[in-house]
Amino acid sequence: MILAMFRVMALALWRDRGALVMTFVLPPLVFLIFSAVFAGTTGEDVRLKLVIADDANTPASRRLVDALMADPDVRAERAVPDTGEQVRRRVKSGRADSGVIVRADPTAPGSPIVVVSDPSRAVAAPLTMARVQQVMARALPDVLLDRTLVETAPAVGGFTPRQIAVAARVRARLAKGGSAPGGSPLFDREDITGAKKGGGTIAYYAGAVSILFALFSAMTGALSLIDERRSGVADRILAGTRGMGPVVTGKFLFLTAQGMVQATAIFATAQLIYGVPVLQHFGPWLATTVLASVCAAGLALGIVAFCKTRDQAQMLSTFIILILAAIGGSMVPRFLMPPWLQTVGWGTPHAWTIEAYQSILWRDAGLMAVYPAWAVLAATGLVGLRLAHTATRLIR
């Protein structure tokens, strides 16, 4: 009976060519639109998570690091150990939005500060530079003056003793609080090792769109539970020896397979057009795709099974899908959200699915990095399936 129900649903989908196109062609199209729109995003006012290392270890560099750590506009923390290499590792693993390495005294000419960035979070690097400049202008104006004098001296042939004395008095006033002068660029930007411009963003939205459409399609397929209950089919099946269990399981398997086909279409498009390395990480990608589809199928069946009418199920499922997509990162990258909303987002399958795909396809993380996501997705899907089995026995 399980295979028979799977075949019935597959034939029904195949005969409805409009639904077939919407199910398997629309997702890659929406993915292409998302990637085109968001790959060049420039950022907004957000509280970035920064990791900082002080390689210079001078009085001025320590003042800068202390000022950044105290700045309420960022969430800054020191690298442990306090090295530039640790900053790079933290940014590459996704545990920080951006990194700041103070490699020389901030008064030194050139670019004493390195901003380490992940191209998948393109907005983070310019925002980090702006934050550091704001902090220096507010908390270290005397350091900016020293830097300006050091860079200007060779161009004007040096300063007279009187000019140096005047600058010292101005510096003393600035150290106690005051306005900062303008200066030359402070920063070098360094992308994480092996980063391909746009690749992380593409991997992000491939995962975001795949889980979004897996849930939409699964919710639509799960509505057949309402139709069978309304038409009396469910009552006749319940009167049999095995009840609705095989029916629910058959639907679950079909919806899981449907989600896998959708994800394959999306990621095939990503590999062919953008070079996302899906085939190079096929095993972990396949496991993530299976578990994300299991999660979507189980969640959809669990929600719809407790609804009494089709209209109720459609309204509730649409609402849940949109809310989960919004806070889970399918519409806007989560690092652009307030910190509290980023935390809430971990309660959605979207966040875990996106994180798993990015860890595999962008950060080249090991399997240990994705096991938590796999566990959450599998548990969510199986709990939803169990709830669906329970609901079909209780609700008429």
- Write out pLDDT tens, residues 310-323: 777 877 787 788 88
Q: Are residues 140 and 268 in the same domain?
A: no
Statement to judge: residues 34 and 84 lie in one domain: no
For the chain, the domain total comes to 2
The secondary structure of residue 83, as a DSSP letter, is: S
Residue 182: what pLDDT? Answer: 45
Last residue in a domain, options 140, 172, 191 = 191
Residues 243, 178 share a domain: no
Tell me the CB-side half-sphere exposure of residue 277, using CA atoms within 13 A: 16
Residue 178: band (very low, low, confident or very high) from pLDDT cuts 50, 70, 90: very low
Domain containing residue 78: 48-191
Q: Residue 216, exposed/middle/buried by CB under 10 A (0-12, 13-18, 19+)? A: buried
Q: Within this chain, do residues 160 and 206 fall inside the same structural domain, yes or no?
A: no
- Tokens representing residue 374 in the block: 């796999």
Residue pLDDT, tens place only, 256-273 = 999 999 999 999 999 999
Angle at the Cα of 286 from the Cα atoms of 282 and 288, rounded to 5 degrees: 120
Give the residue-averaged pLDDT of 103-125: 84
pLDDT at 181 over 60: no
The reported pLDDT for the residue numbered 39 is 47
- Name the strands in the sheet holding 113-117, side by side, starting at the edge strand that comes first in the sequence: 74-78, 48-54, 98-102, 113-117, 187-191
Do 176 and 202 fall into the same domain? no
- Tell me, yes or no, whether 55 and 81 share the same domain: yes
Judgement on whether residues 138 and 206 belong to the same structural domain of the protein: no
Question: 56 and 182, same structural domain?
Answer: yes
Q: For 205-252, how does the pLDDT look when each residue is reduced to its tens digit (9 = 90+)?
A: 899 999 999 999 999 999 888 877 766 555 555 555 556 678 888 899
Give the helix/strand (H/E) hosting 188: strand 187-191
Give the model's pLDDT for residue 377: 97
**Strongest mean pLDDT among 146-150, 163-167, 384-388:** 384-388
Model pTM score: 0.72
Q: How confident is the model over 270-310, as pLDDT tens digits?
A: 999 988 899 999 999 999 999 999 999 999 999 998 887 77
Q: Are residues 179 and 318 in the same domain?
A: no
Last residue of a domain, one of 191, 217, 236: 191
pLDDT bucket at 183, cuts 50 / 70 / 90? very low
Last residue of a domain, one of 161, 191, 221: 191
**388 in the same domain as 342:** yes
Q: What is the CATH number of the domain that holds 127?
A: 3.40.1710
For residues 243 and 328, state if they share a domain: yes
Q: Do 272 and 348 belong together in one domain?
A: yes
Residues 6+ apart with CB under 8 A from 163: none
Compute φ and ψ for 184, nearest 5 degrees: -80, 170
